[in-house]
Amino acid sequence: RRRTAILISGRGSNMAALLAAATDPAYPAEIALVLSNRADAAGLARAVEAGIPTAVVASRGFGKDRAAFEAAMEAELAAHGVELIALAGFMRVLTEGFTRRWEGRMLNIHPSLLPAFPGLDTHARALAAGVRLHGCTVHLVTPGVDEGPIVAQAAVPVLATDAEEALARRVLAEEHRLYPTALAWLASGQLRLENGRAVLNTAPQPSGES
């Protein structure tokens, strides 16, 4: 099982979905650390409840010094023997150096069908644009924000009656299904970054079970 850190900034519902998946001993990722850049992230309590090691590296304490902030994160990741990273509502932009170091080993989930609506307020922007389909994307992280190779997507309809909250809820339910699947692909070695693209080997994997 590949030792994986989940990086959060808030609620942690995607984190909870990954933790739940990883309770299965056959799941290829083991959650070795939940790291938050905010001490008040609600997800931290859920991780503690689940018996997962947690760490806070308060980005606020580092001001504009992103390199020092990331060095402090790297120290926590190293201390916990982390091999893979899953960003789950982690709201800090990472430097090119950090993303290069974790290239091919770091996933992010984004609440839109990329390349539509990168950045923030995706559900309000989808409603304003009048799209009929919206959804979520898991991608490998590269230096350009929300620009990394797409691994998996799930689409939901946008209904005429939708307010932002209803649409967000419909997308979030898909996030919770999609992210555990995508992390399993990365942790099992089925998903790899090759020439800047996400390549998924869907051939049946050898298994110990009949």
176 is catalytic: no
Q: Strand order in 54-56's β-sheet?
A: 54-56, 29-36, 2-8, 84-87, 106-110, 133-140, 150-157
Specify the residue, 164 or 192, whose C-beta has the smaller distance to ligand GAR: 164
Amino acid found at 156? V
CB of 195 to ligand GAR, least distance (A): 26
120 vs 63, 117, 129, 198, CA distance in Å? Answer: 21, 8, 14, 24
> 80, 110, 123, 134: which one is catalytic?
110
Task: Give the CB-side neighbour count of residue 140, counting CA atoms within 13 A.
Answer: 23
Q: Minimum CB separation from ligand GAR for residue 119, in Å?
A: 7
Consult the annotation and say whether 51 binds a ligand: no
Q: Is 175 in the site for ligand GAR (CB under 6 A)?
A: yes
CB nearest ligand GAR: which residue? 89
E strand spans, 122-196: 133-140, 150-157, 191-194
Interactions with ligand GAR, residue window 69-98 (CB under 6 A):
88-89
CB of 187 to ligand GAR, least distance (A): 19
Name the β-bridge partners of 106. 85
Among 18, 21, 109, 182, binds ligand GAR (CB under 6 A): 109
Indicate the helix (H) or strand (E) that contains 43: helix 42-49
Taking the complex as a whole, how short is the minimal distance between the CB of residue 104 and ligand GAR, in angstroms? 20
Residues 74, 35: Cα–Cα separation, whole Å: 11
Residue from the set 110, 142, 185, 186 that interacts with ligand GAR by CB under 6 A: 110
d(CA 199, CA 4): 20
- What are the binding residues? 12-14, 66, 108
Residue ranges in contact with ligand GAR by CB under 6 A: 8, 10-14, 43, 88-89, 109-111, 172, 175
Residues belonging to the active site? 110
